[in-house]
Chains A and B, each alone.
Chain A
Amino acid sequence: MVSTEVARDTATEGRLTELYVRHAPAAQRLAFLLTGDRAQAEDLVQEAFVRVVGKFGHLRVPDAFGAYLRRTIVNLHTSQLRRKRLERAWLERERHAPTAVTPEVGGREELWHAVLALPPRQRAAVVLRFYEDLSERETAEVLRCSPAAAKALVARAMETLRTEIRKDEP
């Protein structure tokens, strides 16, 4: 919903609204997969949006806004312990409280918790590769590392997930 106050505002704010409406849903999905929490994801998206918009005048390719936003979200998430702490707190709450989302069946819940328990860069690598469908090179660009390092991150993450899943098998 766009408030009437925004609608009355300047052309610049109209442009910002348009940008937000266009990019926020995909950004929110990515942020949710990285954080596992809607509120944190929204915070992450908003912070990333503000940062990217702040540099928008310097962007040579306006169409690259989504890519900049994605990179900023990942970098913000992986570099900030605050989010790790919030995440741990969230996981703690999740262990003791009934989940608000659709109940999981079988090993899906274990897999999801294992994904959330991955170190931030490994989790980001997995989400970028298997949700965003980025190539190893593109994943490496977002994570600001070499393609080999990105590949190693995914390999380590998959190994951890495999181990965690096996651990939970009867």
Chain B
Amino acid sequence: MNDLERNLRTLLDDKASAAGVPEPDVRLLRRARRRQMGTVLAGALGVAAMLGGVVLVIWAFGPSRGGTPADPLEPRVETTVNGVTVSHPESWKVVDPVEAGITPETETTTRLILLMSNAEEITPEAISCPGLSGDAGGGLVMTIQEVPLALAGEGAKPWPVELVSLIEPGQGEVGPSGCLPGWAFLRASWTEAGRGFEARVGFGPDVSGPERDALQAAFDSLLFAPAEGAPEAVVLATGTAGGEDWELIAQRAKDGMVLSLEWSSGGRSGFGPSGVPASLSFGVQALGQGADRELIVYGAAGSPIVRVEYEPAVGGPAVSAPVIDVPDQIDPRVGAFVLVYPGPVEGAGELRGLDADGRVLATVGTRPPPAEGD
């Protein structure tokens, strides 16, 4: 054991002794108890759903009932689609978007997995452009997308999360083609059960307060089944460059990791598979416009490399960044890196991979980024 390890052990022991002793809290224990009950209830859900189906059949085909009209927001039922369970008013419909023909089945890393609406009939037109029917004011829609599991950034927040406004006030009042006139939109993203999710909620101006409450309650009720296997893709890092938010995404592929950089204005660049583990492989991208442009150099590094340095060929000091761990399920052989260089962004440069002792293991020249507007 060397001095650093010895000092570290002593320090951690000392610090741990100052951590305090938490006291059991009644609310915590009750929450834990409810969670236990939730696990038990989840096991019984299948039986309940089956019984519920029988009851519904009896209700639907049984003798007609008199009395006052029922509250359209009651009763509530639970529906599970693609491992997401939502409790919602029975009169609302929850469907698998692919089965309903709303979205095509694709191989993209982001996929729409649940759609809830109060539309009488779930059709692509009713969902994407309720304004065409002339009765969009009372419409509401919630969609859930499964997205790459976020290890960093907004999407790494654990469930539960709060819905926040998707569109600034005034911007969402009239849809570009009158499809969603006066609608308000909310969004949220989170991680739960080893899966990444994103929600979009929209509702028309005529939606009542109780309906909005029911929509919020439906969102709050979401439950998630654990991921069935290792994640296909993860968000390794997020940041801002040139005024754009970006995400570095690692995706599992047959021959290794595929890295891609996605940014908020809708652009995407990437490369892969990562190839020889001991080497450096990389991409360069400039984000922003004019004087605000910033360079992003990102890529994969073999396991001996713990840090990368980038230095432009002309002007400017070198910048460095540590290698980020990539989950073994994506690629056990390599790490990833991403660094933002404020400028100059147009020229070539040099990328160096360093080991733990600061020795340069790999040096590669970098090409200039795509020109502005490309």
Contacts and interface: CB of A to CB of B under 8 A. Distances in A.
Interface stretch (A20-28, A60-68, A87-95): A20-28
A57 B328 contact: no
Contacts of A80: 156-158, 191
A81 to B, nearest CB: 4
A45 to B, nearest CB: 6
Contacts of A126: 8
B7 A24 contact: no
A101 B18 contact: yes
Contacts of A102: 18
A81 B20 contact: no
A42 B38 CA distance: 23
A16 B12 CA distance: 29
Interface stretch (B23-31, B139-147, B177-185, B344-352): B23-31
Given A57-B36, A119-B325, A17 B157 contact: no
A81 B4 contact: no
Nearest to B332: A146
A137 interface: no
Contacts of A158: 4-5, 356
A134 interface: no
A25 to B, nearest CB: 5
Majority-rule SS of A interface residues: helix
Given A51-B35, A53-B32, A156-B306, 4 more contacts: A49-B32, A81-B154, A119-B322, A155-B306
A146 B328 contact: yes
A127 B325 contact: no
Interface of A: 1-3, 5-6, 9, 12-13, 16-17, 20-21, 24-25, 28-33, 38, 41-42, 45-47, 49-51, 53-58, 76, 79-82, 84, 101-102, 107-108, 111-112, 115, 119, 121-122, 126-127, 130-131, 144-146, 148-149, 152-153, 155-156, 158-162, 165
Given A54-B36, A149-B325, A25 B153 contact: no
A55 to B, nearest CB: 6
B70 interface: no
Given A111-B7, A131-B16, A165-B4, A21 B24 contact: yes
Given A130-B9, A162-B4, A13 B327 contact: no
B265 interface: no
A16 B19 contact: no
Contacts of B191: 79-80
Given A20-B24, A38-B20, A81 B152 contact: yes
B11 A111 contact: yes
A2 B32 contact: no
Contacts of A9: 29
B15 interface: yes
A158 B356 CA distance: 9
Contacts of B322: 119, 156, 160
B303 interface: yes
B171 interface: no
Given A54-B38, A79-B151, A156-B322, A112 B15 contact: yes
A68 to B, nearest CB: 13
A44 B99 CA distance: 39
Contact of B158 (A57, A82, A119, A145): A82
B328 A149 contact: yes
A127 B32 contact: no
A28 B22 contact: yes
A64 B29 CA distance: 19
B158 A16 contact: no
B193 to A, nearest CB: 10
Contact of A16 (B8, B13, B32, B356): B32
Which of the listed residues B13, B156, B191, B324 has the most CB atoms from chain A within 10 Å of its own CB? B156
B157 A50 contact: no
Given A130-B5, A145-B327, A146-B332, A84 B152 contact: yes
Contact of A1 (B4, B23, B28): B23
B39 interface: yes
B19 A32 contact: yes
Nearest to A108: B11
B16 A153 contact: no
B29 A16 contact: yes
Given A145-B328, A162-B4, A3 B19 contact: no
B40 interface: yes
Contact of B9 (A53, A122, A131): A131
B9 A119 contact: no
Nearest to A54: B35
Contact of B157 (A20, A81, A160): A81
B29 A13 contact: yes
Interface in B317-374: 322-325, 327-328, 332, 356-357
Nearest to A29: B16
Contact of B12 (A33, A38, A45, A46): A33
A136 B304 CA distance: 18
